Amino acid sequence: MGKRDTKQRNISHLGKKEVGCREEQKISYQEEAGNTKPIQTIKNSDSSCEYKIDKEVMIDVSHMSHVYTDEMGNPVHALKDVDVTIYKGEFVAIIGTNGSGKSTLAKHFNVLLTPSEGTVKVLGMDTQDPAHIWDIRQHVGMVFQNPDNQIVAAVVEEDVAFGPENLGIEPSEIRRRVDEALKAVNMSQYALHAPHLLSGGQKQRIAIAGVLAMKPDCIILDEPTAMLDPRGRKEVLDTVRRLNKEEGITVVYITHFMEEAAVADRIVVMKNGVKLQEGTPRQIFEQVDTLKQLGLDVPVAAEVASELIKRGHALPKGIITNEELGDVLCR
C-alpha cells in the first residue's frame, strides 16, 4: 500500500515556517499538568529543517451524550457530556470497565450511532448531517471483536474485495487494493484460502485488510483481540501498530488488555459513560492504586514497579513495559 495522505499532504496551509521537509514525522506530547497536547514534529533526514505543528483533528467529540432506550422503554444514559479529540496519525487506546460506554463512543466515529446531545465531527463533517455519512464511512473503518461475524466471502481475497466492490470501484483498482491490503497485514500467501480455516488472529487480519481496502484515514478497533490467543493478539496488535507508524493511519483501539493500551500514544479512560481521564500511557498507568480502585488493571510491569517503589526500592517512576522494567532491574 502506498504512503497515506497524512505523509504526503502539503502542510503549508497549516502555517508552517517551512514546507518540503517531511521525511520523518513523529508525534510528541507535552506532558504538563495532566494535559496532553499532541504536537507533530517534522524534520528532514539531516535535521537541517525542523518545525512543530499542532496536529490536525481527525475526530472531534464535543459535549456528546448518548441515550439508548432499553427493552422496557426506559432511557439508558450510556454517554454523558463526553469531550474527546483524536488527532490525525495518533494511536489512541480507550479503556474502561464493562458498560462504561467504550463501544457506544466508538460507534459514533463512523456513524453507526449519532449523538442524543452534543456533536461528533469527523474531519470537520458533522455526523448528524445525513449528507456526510457516506463520506465519513470511507474515511473511518471499523473492526469488531468477533472475526467470524466480519467475514462475508468464502475466499480470503473475495472477502477483502467486498468493500471496494460496493463502492463501485473498477476491477483493476480493486485487484490492486486487495493485493496491497493483504500485503499490509502480512496475509498475501492466504489470498486464495478459505477464511473459516484460518486462525482467529489471521481472520482478524483479514477483517483489517477488508477495512484497508477502503483506503480509510482512520481505523476504529473495538476489542479486536478479545477472542484471540496470545499469539493472535500479538499478530493483530503488531499489524495495527505498523499501519499506524508506517502508513500514518489514525488508530482508535478499545481494549481490556492494559499491555496493549500501554503501546498507544494516548489513553482515554471511560467510567459509567463519562470520560474520566486521558493522558499518555505513562501518565495513566502511573496511578496504579487509582486505576485498581476503578476496577481496572494496569500492565504487570507498572504494578511490579509500583510495589517495588512502595517497598523502598529506588526505581524511576513511569515504568509501564516489561522491557523498561527488565532494563531497570538488570542495571
Ligand X SMILES: Nc1ncnc2c1ncn2[C@@H]1O[C@H](COP(=O)(O)OP(=O)(O)OP(=O)(O)O)[C@@H](O)[C@H]1O
Interface residues with Mg ion (CB under 5 A) are 103
Identify what 68 binds: ligand X, Mg ion, none; CB under 5 to 8 Å per kind. ligand X
CA distance 204 to 235: 9
CA distance 254 to 235: 16
Among 226, 181, 238, which Cα is nearest to 208's? 181
Does the protein bind ligand X through residue 318 (CB under 6 A)? Answer: no
CB of 65 to Mg ion, least distance (A): 18
Q: Which is nearer to ligand X, 133 or 226 (CB)?
A: 226
Among 38, 89, 96, 164, binds ligand X (CB under 6 A): 96
Using CB atoms within 10 A of its CB, is residue 315 exposed (0-12), middle (13-18) or buried (19+)? Answer: middle
Amino acid (one-letter) located at 196: H
Q: Which is nearer to ligand X, 212 or 298 (CB)?
A: 298
Q: Which is nearer to Mg ion, 103 or 280 (CB)?
A: 103
Among 234, 281, 324, which Cα is nearest to 94's? 281
Q: Taking a C-beta distance cutoff of 8 angstroms, is the pair 299, 325 a contact?
A: no
CB of 97 to ligand X, least distance (A): 7
Q: How far is CA 183 from CA 177, 212, 243, in A?
A: 10, 11, 11
Does the protein bind ligand X through residue 68 (CB under 6 A)? Answer: yes
Among 58, 61, 64, 78, binds ligand X (CB under 6 A): 78
CB of 189 to ligand X, least distance (A): 33
Among 38, 89, 101, 147, binds ligand X (CB under 6 A): 101
* Size, binding site for ligand X by CB under 6 A: 12
Among 6, 85, 103, 287, binds ligand X (CB under 6 A): 103
Q: How far is CA 185 from CA 1, 158, 169, 306, in A?
A: 10, 16, 21, 36
Does the protein bind ligand X through residue 110 (CB under 6 A)? Answer: no
Which residues lie near ligand X (CB under 6 A)?
68, 70, 76, 78, 96, 98-104
